[in-house]
Amino acid sequence: MEPPKDKEEALAGLLNGTMVTLLGVAPPALFILVVTQNWRDLFGGDLTAISTDTSLAIGILMFSPRLIRFGLRTLRLNWAGLRGREADL
């Protein structure tokens, strides 16, 4: 990733980093919400349904930290670029 060239680009990068971080946080939160609300149905049901749900959840939970890390790196880079631009003004 390259540092932002101007203030507008840094602000756009902050918005993008925020959105990517929120997209990375949403699937695990939704998974936890679904499990806590339907835990009796999940454990009393079909084993193939549980294995399918578990495999999907594992895939989501493996991809989610990468999105969060990328979003936080984008936020940090653009925040530093924005603070550096304000010092130049």
Domain boundaries, the chain: 25-88
**Given a cut of 80, is residue 66 above it in pLDDT?**
yes
Taking the CB of residue 36, how many other CB atoms lie within 10 A of it?
8
* Model confidence band, residue 1 (pLDDT cutoffs 50, 70, 90): confident
**Given a cut of 70, is residue 89 above it in pLDDT?**
no
- In this prediction the pTM is 0.77
Question: Model confidence over 22-60: pLDDT tens digits?
Answer: 999 998 888 888 778 877 776 776 667 677 777 778 888
If you search the block for the tokens 């991809």, which residue do you land on? Answer: 63
61, 24 Cβ separation under 8 angstroms:
no
Question: Model confidence over 69-80: pLDDT tens digits?
Answer: 999 999 999 999
Candidates 28, 11, 27, 26; CA nearest to 74 is 11
